[in-house]
Amino acid sequence: MSGINALGNALLMVFNNQFGSEIAIAMHQIAQGNDIGKVFRLQLAVGNAQIVHNSCLEGLEFETYLAILAARIAVMNRLNMYDPLHERSPGCGEPYPESYWADHAGPAPADDGVLMHDLTVDVVIIGAGYTGLSAAYHLATEHGVQAVVLEANQLAWGCSGRNAGFVLRSSGRKPYAEMQKQWGESVMRGVYHEFCQGVDLVKSMIDKGIDCDRQDPGYLRMAHKPSMVKTLQAQADLLHRTFGSDVELLTQQQVRSQYVDDQQSFGALRFADGFGVNPLKLAYGYQRLARAAGARIHTASPVLNWTTEGRTQILHTPNATVRAKKVILATNGYTPKHFHQGVQARTLPVLSQIIVTEPLNSAQLAATNFQTSHVVMDTRALKYYYRKLPDNRLLFGGRGAITGKDAADPYYADRLLQVLKLSFPALQTLRYDYQWSGWICMSLDDIPHIHQADPFGDVVYSMGYCGSGLAFSVQAGKRLAEKIMGLAQPDLPMFNRPLPKFPFAPLRRVGQWGYFHYGKWKDQWW
């Protein structure tokens, strides 16, 4: 068993560096007790390198091999990702995931630290992501209110720092043609205008001096099979006819010769105005603007308990209590279980998985004809999306695990890498250097909602971005600031009605599992 002991020593060193001495010692003891299954965590710690391949497992007795499997389960249980449907808190001061964004964003801007003393304020904002930071900024600059922001972990720790960095004039999951059929053309135009304002507001915020690695504009919506070309043509016709949008339908040959040789593309709809950013650097910029305007932002200050006295909102954090007249709930897909009855059972958090590859060399770039930095998304029900980053790495994303306890399983990152290689067969030896996941917030009716969570309008929220949060969340924060100040909102479904409740809410994940299987069938055969 000398090999096991040696492996235990190696684990001690790696775990001590990555996770602290307490875990390291425990791992060492387990390994010396002939349970080397914690090697699985070592694999996760160093990326997808096959450090513990067959050479580590050869010659082991069957009992030891079973111990490895048991240890894998134990490790996965320890590494469970925060799951909003099952947990009452996202943690306190948790570090960023080991993402490409976190590695390339530089140091986080200064904040106001942990809240250590009781406060009585006019407005509290829960959540320091795009929505909360935008609400704080617009409250200060347009309404003269200097709000306090409470963040459980780090700035933009949730989806704001985990997404793919796509800034798009998107309506989320609800097509404009469907809006027109359901609500009429005037409402459809109003929703379109609202989403356009969102993109324009992001651009104006960036123009205030935010360095977020903004790439050249352009968005390709790829037809993943020939039958989807007609669907894209109908979408282009609607956008041209109704909004005068600058879109063009590209043939398969045009896509592959002028943009990128994606072997799974049969044509594409090109939008001139989408673009990619480093989403975490963008959030850093929003925080700087909000604090410069007078907002106070306290990290590692989760709301552990929320009560009311009359119309006073009382928020209990680990070290202090905040009494507020008004609360803006800006937690979206990271809203804990039973956090506030006004949003309970009204959202479905869905994991999106992202990988970032090693940099492509000149031969690989030539073999794939990667001429563009356009952001790309396909037409599948279970969408895949990708972009070439400034350092010639490929970001590739798609759906992740169904539950938080499965989020760390390398199966999901490996699956994305294999799909990427179907699009680009010349990249068979390519590896990924980063993998992470985050919660997208889905609504039952596929549109976001900005509404009040209580009868008096003292608590307001914005949730259900359905994958379009980067572009729309800043606009949502601006609207939340207006709403909390008592100003009228546009007469649109996203403003004049609350998030609908999910029927049979405890079975949401069962329904999600069923939809994923339906989506696989639809994407292949329909």
Paired strand residues for 442 = 348
Q: Are 307 and 243 found together in one domain?
A: no
Q: Are 122 and 193 found together in one domain?
A: yes
Q: Are 268 and 278 found together in one domain?
A: no
DSSP string, 24-92: HHHHHHHHHTT--TTHHHHHHHTTT--TTSHHHHTT--HHHHHHHHHHHHHHHHHTPPP-TTT-S---S
Q: What is the pLDDT of residue 190?
A: 96
Percent helix, strand and coil across the chain, each to the nearest 5: 40, 20, 40
Q: What is the mean pLDDT of the chain?
A: 87
What are the residues whose beta carbons fall under 8 Å from the beta carbon of 507, sequence distance 6 or more? none
- Whether 374 maps to a domain, the answer reads no
Paired strand residues for 462 = 450
pLDDT at 112 > cutoff 60: yes
The domain tally of the chain equals 3
Percent of the chain whose predicted confidence (pLDDT) is above 70: 84
Q: How far is CA 472 from CA 94, 159, 201, in A?
A: 26, 13, 9
- Whether 105 maps to a domain, the answer reads yes
Q: Are 107 and 200 found together in one domain?
A: yes
Q: Are 109 and 19 found together in one domain?
A: no
User: How far is 526 from 520, CA to CA, in rounded Å?
Assistant: 10
Dump pLDDT digits (tens) for 161-190.
999 999 998 877 899 999 999 999 999 999
- Whether 505 maps to a domain, the answer reads yes
Q: Are 207 and 239 found together in one domain?
A: no
- DSSP designation for 315: E
- Whether 429 maps to a domain, the answer reads no
In 393-511, where do the E strands start and end? 394-399, 432-442, 449-452, 459-463
Q: Are 59 and 24 in contact (CB under 8 A)?
A: no
Q: Which domain, by its residues, includes 250? A: 219-272
- Whether 427 maps to a domain, the answer reads no
Q: Are 211 and 233 found together in one domain?
A: no
Q: Are 256 and 306 found together in one domain?
A: no
Dump pLDDT digits (tens) for 32-62.
444 444 444 333 333 333 333 343 444 545 4
What's the CATH code of the domain at 122?
Answer: 3.50.50.60
Domain end residue (candidates: 78, 108, 134): 78
- Whether 378 maps to a domain, the answer reads no
* Mean pLDDT confidence for 436-453: 96
Domain end residue (candidates: 78, 113, 131): 78
Give the tokens for residue 146: 């200097």
User: How far is 352 from 485, CA to CA, in rounded Å?
Assistant: 34
Dump pLDDT digits (tens) for 254-290.
999 999 999 999 999 999 989 999 999 999 999 999 9
Paired strand residues for 32 = none
- Whether 404 maps to a domain, the answer reads no
Q: Are 336 and 224 found together in one domain?
A: no
Q: Are 473 and 134 in contact (CB under 8 A)?
A: yes
Percent of the chain whose predicted confidence (pLDDT) is above 90: 78
Dump pLDDT digits (tens) for 381-400.
889 999 999 999 999 999 99
Dump pLDDT digits (tens) for 322-360.
999 999 999 999 999 999 999 999 999 999 999 999 999
For residue 30, name the pLDDT band (cuts at 50, 70, 90).
Answer: very low
Q: Are 117 and 198 found together in one domain?
A: yes
Dump pLDDT digits (tens) for 490-523.
999 999 999 999 999 999 999 988 888 888 787 7
Q: Are 251 and 188 found together in one domain?
A: no
- Whether 386 maps to a domain, the answer reads no
Q: Are 206 and 337 found together in one domain?
A: yes
